[in-house]
Amino acid sequence: MNTERDALVIAHRGVTGVDMVENTVKAFERAVALDADFIETDVRRTADGYLICFHDGKLDGSAVKKMNYASLQQYARMIGWELPLLEEVLRLCKGNLRLDIEIKAKGLEKQVVEEVNATGMSNEVLITSFHDSVLRKIKLHDAAIKTGLLLGRRLFQQRFRLHAYIQDFYPESRLKKINADAVCPHYHLLRLGFIKRMQRLNLPVYVWTVNDKRRMEKVLAKGANGLITDDIVEAMEVIKGRDRLSL
């Protein structure tokens, strides 16, 4: 993990591409090799109680939460990839880089905390969610684990857009209620001093999902503390360029 960059590079679901499937051990290993600061992954639970790193709620039309791990893994292998367990990814990250765990559904909090603590990673994770209640429960299970509130998901759902924008653009009271340690907004929210308001709360701001060089530059110029990105090589180059200019 690089300790010299002035902003963190967070590999969104690992490093993906034509030869690499997101949220797989290979994608995560590539992020380690390229010296990312964090890996970001999504966590869901199978019908038989395993925590897996998988983004979507369904696989081939079936709800992940209603399928057992062996069936999911068998299907994944049929199409050429491995479905990792959260505990595998925690072990991979330990001593190499930090892990941003996005909890996709309510009810997983206790088990996630148990697996984090069992691998000795409690100081090396950031647990994030769009659900305030999930982050509140994480703190109840272990107040020392850092949490981050994700903002902006409903900006793309027309019937929620205005309400969601207001709620997410002014999250101060929510952040205080859940005792969040970080805030993770979509870049569309970075207007009218959003980052400065978060800085007044002493909260780092990690922005998703920033893949375009010009947008990376704009987001960093506004004061973001980290980029959640699918292109970590580009992000590193942009940050290095800023570092050189500041010398």
Name the residue range of residue 95's domain: 8-246
* Residue 52: inside a domain: yes
pLDDT at 245: 59
Measured distance CA(165)–CA(207) in Å, rounded: 16
Lowest mean pLDDT among 51-60, 158-167, 187-196: 158-167
pLDDT at 134: 99
* Residue 113: inside a domain: yes
* Residue 3: inside a domain: no
Question: For residue 127, what is the domain's CATH number?
Answer: 3.20.20.190
Q: How confident is the model at residue 149 (pLDDT cuts 50, 70, 90)?
A: very high
Question: CB-hemisphere CA count at 13 Å for 246?
Answer: 9
Enter the pTM of the model: 0.95
Measured distance CA(159)–CA(198) in Å, rounded: 27
* Residue 17: inside a domain: yes
Reported as a single tens digit per residue, the pLDDT across 54-112 is 999 998 888 999 999 999 999 999 988 999 999 999 999 999 999 999 999 999 999 99
Coil, strand, or helix at residue 242? helix
* Residue 123: inside a domain: yes
* Residue 25: inside a domain: yes
Measured distance CA(91)–CA(101) in Å, rounded: 14
* Residue 216: inside a domain: yes
* Residue 15: inside a domain: yes
Coil, strand, or helix at residue 126? strand
Assess whether pLDDT exceeds 60 at residue 222.
yes
Could you give the angle at which helices 86-93 and 25-33 cross, rounded to 10 degrees?
10
Q: How confident is the model at residue 247 (pLDDT cuts 50, 70, 90)?
A: very low
DSSP string, 10-57: EEETS--BTTB-TTSHHHHHHHHHTT-SEEEEEEEE-TTS-EEE---S
Assess whether pLDDT exceeds 60 at residue 3.
no
Report the domain count for the chain. 1
